[in-house]
A and B are shown apart, each in its own frame.
Chain A
Amino acid sequence: MDSEVVFKQEFEINGGDFVNAGESASKLKNILKEIGIDTDIIRRLAIAAYEAEVNVVTYARHGIMRILIYPEKILLTVEDEGQGIKDIDLAMQPGYSTATDEIREMGFGAGLGLPNMKKNADIFNISSTVDKGTKLEITMNLNDKNVRD
């Protein structure tokens, strides 16, 4: 059984809103700093959260990012309603991207977001249904020294 949630917060992400993409990840980072989470964990989680957020903005209509902090771990979930991913193994390959030229011009579309998330997460899970949406689960393990109360 999971232990008790110490902290919980949700962020909404709007598809197509490139100007504000990254703001949820920024807010999340500030919260983790305030709580006093280990800086290396914050750095890794901020990268994963940013990449997940940008993917929702780029490829989905709407999404919710949730942060759940337990005494022994942080769980970040990002769930979206959108086109979904047909071939997850392919999408996970570095360099694979379906970004349009217009999106690439803004600096997105290197095909590195999902690989970056996986690399920085302690545990990374992704599931997706075409024409419905995608769900990501990123877990970071904490030592109990990481959460002050």
Chain B
Amino acid sequence: MPEEKIKLSEVIKQLNLKIECREQFLDKEIQGGYVSDLLSDVMANCKEGYIWITLQGHPNIVAVAVLKEVAGIVIINNRKPEEETIKKAEAEKLPIMTSSLTAFELVGKLYELGISG
């Protein structure tokens, strides 16, 4: 049975994520999640509407996320996206969030919210 999917805005609230881009396009349903810092792994395995968890803050994450049509990126471990990354993400209307949690902790919480790979 198709369950109702949690919205990105709700995930942000529940996990206390910090929004790095302007606050819009958060009204998307999260279809699943993927964790990886290897861009060609993300290209191969991340799916449309997924939330992508990564350590990378380089501008190239935006190109990958846009091509894969992910719902948003969460940069973990208190890392910050580069300024150019934010500029590009805003131009592409791609939400980028940050978290102080590790990948392990964040994914655990995402699972608790009903998001899985």
Interface residues of A (CB under 8 A from B): 18-19, 21-23, 25-26, 29, 46-47, 50-51, 54, 106-110, 112-113, 116, 119
Given known contacts A107-B56, A110-B38, A51 and B63 CB-to-CB distance under 8 angstroms: no
Interface residues of B (CB under 8 A from A): 37-41, 43-44, 54, 56, 58-64, 66-67, 84
Specify which chain A residues have a CB less than 8 angstroms from the CB of B43 in the assembled complex.
47, 50-51, 112, 116
Given known contacts A106-B58, A107-B58, A116-B44, A22 and B37 CB-to-CB distance under 8 angstroms: no
CB closest residue in chain A, given B54: A107
B57 to chain A, nearest CB (A): 10
Specify which chain A residues have a CB less than 8 angstroms from the CB of B61 in the assembled complex.
107
Q: Main secondary structure on chain B at its contact with chain A?
A: helix
Specify which chain B residues have a CB less than 8 angstroms from the CB of A116 in the assembled complex.
40, 43-44
Given known contacts A107-B58, A112-B44, A22 and B38 CB-to-CB distance under 8 angstroms: no
Could you tell me the distance between the alpha carbons of A26 and B67 in the complex, rounded to whole angstroms?
Answer: 6
Q: Tell me if B38 and A29 are in contact (CB < 8 A).
A: no
Q: Tell me if B67 and A50 are in contact (CB < 8 A).
A: yes
Specify which chain B residues have a CB less than 8 angstroms from the CB of A107 in the assembled complex.
37-39, 54, 56, 58, 60-61
Q: Tell me if A23 and B56 are in contact (CB < 8 A).
A: no
Q: Main secondary structure on chain A at its contact with chain B?
A: helix
Q: Tell me if B63 and A22 are in contact (CB < 8 A).
A: yes
Given known contacts A25-B63, A26-B66, A112 and B84 CB-to-CB distance under 8 angstroms: no
Specify which chain A residues have a CB less than 8 angstroms from the CB of B66 in the assembled complex.
22, 26
Q: Tell me if B67 and A19 are in contact (CB < 8 A).
A: no
Residue among A46, A107, A108 with the highest chain B CB neighbour number at 10 A: A107
Specify which chain A residues have a CB less than 8 angstroms from the CB of B67 in the assembled complex.
22, 25-26, 29, 46-47, 50
Q: Tell me if A112 and B40 are in contact (CB < 8 A).
A: yes
Could you tell me the distance between the alpha carbons of A65 and B28 in the complex, rounded to whole angstroms?
Answer: 33
Which listed residue, A26, A112, A113, A119, touches B63 by the CB 8 Å rule?
A26
Residue among B54, B59, B61 with the highest chain A CB neighbour number at 10 A: B59
